């Protein structure tokens, strides 16, 4: 979210490049690694623009005489993906209601792994808001997406989206607790295609247990 640490790292990388070349090694490629960050929640600063990032790299790497490789990653795909889920039921809580959705920690691991923030919105908001806890149906204490979150008011059966799920969302999903992987749908304007099919429960059950344990 700031060019300062990146610029300091790239300056040091340039020094290492010179040291390695002085030692007699030929270096033709330099990988700058990950790129700019992505704001996930309200109040977070906007990251520098790709133009600002490129100008900094041009200034620091001028004269390196090497092909530069970039891994922009989240900057491109994070906000291009959402997780679509449905409200199973709403359970009263001591202070705030618990909104239970059919997505779980195995579908979007980031909140459970490092308390990542994902905006949660109703697909068809009615204008009302609420403060609620949003959790999945897996019996794990980590199956929590948001606590005390101000969000759109929803009811059982409503569709909800988790934003900024395009990076490290489907890639880290898994079949924990025999839950089939979430399918992925690629959308481009009015066109769409299923790019990862859901593995049906019968296919999962066919692999366990082996016949010799029957």
139 classed as catalytic: yes
CA distances from 159 to 51, 81, 102, 146, 175 (A): 37, 16, 10, 16, 22
The torsion region of residue 210 among left (phi > 0), alpha (psi -120 to 50) and beta comes to beta
Q: Which candidate in 29, 94, 124, 139 is catalytic?
A: 139
Q: Which two tokens stand for residue 45?
A: 């600063």
- Residue 24, Cβ density class (10 Å: 0-12 exposed, 13-18 middle, ≥19 buried): exposed
Q: Which two tokens stand for residue 64?
A: 């390196």
With vertex at residue 37, the alpha carbon angle to CA 175 and CA 105, rounded to the nearest 5 degrees, is 20
Task: Indicate which residues carry an active-site annotation.
Answer: 139
């Amino acid at each position: 979210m700031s060019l300062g640490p990146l610029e300091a790292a790239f300056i040091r990388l340039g020094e290492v490049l010179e040291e390695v070349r002085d030692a007699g090694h030929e270096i033709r490629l330099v990988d700058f690694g990950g790129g700019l960050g992505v704001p996930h929640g309200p109040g977070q600063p906007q990251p520098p623009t790709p133009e600002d990032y490129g100008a900094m790299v041009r200034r620091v790497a001028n004269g390196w005489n090497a092909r530069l490789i970039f891994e922009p990653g989240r900057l491109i795909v994070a906000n291009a993906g959402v997780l679509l889920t449905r409200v199973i039921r709403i359970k009263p809580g001591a202070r705030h209601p618990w909104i239970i959705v059919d997505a779980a920690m195995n579908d979007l691991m980031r909140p459970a792994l490092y308390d990542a923030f994902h905006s949660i919105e109703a697909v068809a908001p009615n204008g009302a808001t609420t403060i609620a806890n949003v959790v999945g149906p897996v019996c794990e204490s980590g199956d929590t997406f948001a606590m005390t979150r101000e969000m759109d008011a929803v009811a059982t059966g409503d569709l909800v989206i988790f934003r900024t799920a395009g990076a490290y969302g489907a890639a880290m999903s898994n079949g924990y607790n025999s839950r089939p992987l979430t399918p992925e749908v690629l959308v481009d304007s009015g066109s769409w295609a299923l790019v990862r099919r859901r593995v049906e429960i019968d296919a999962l059950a066919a692999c366990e247990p082996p016949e010799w344990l029957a």
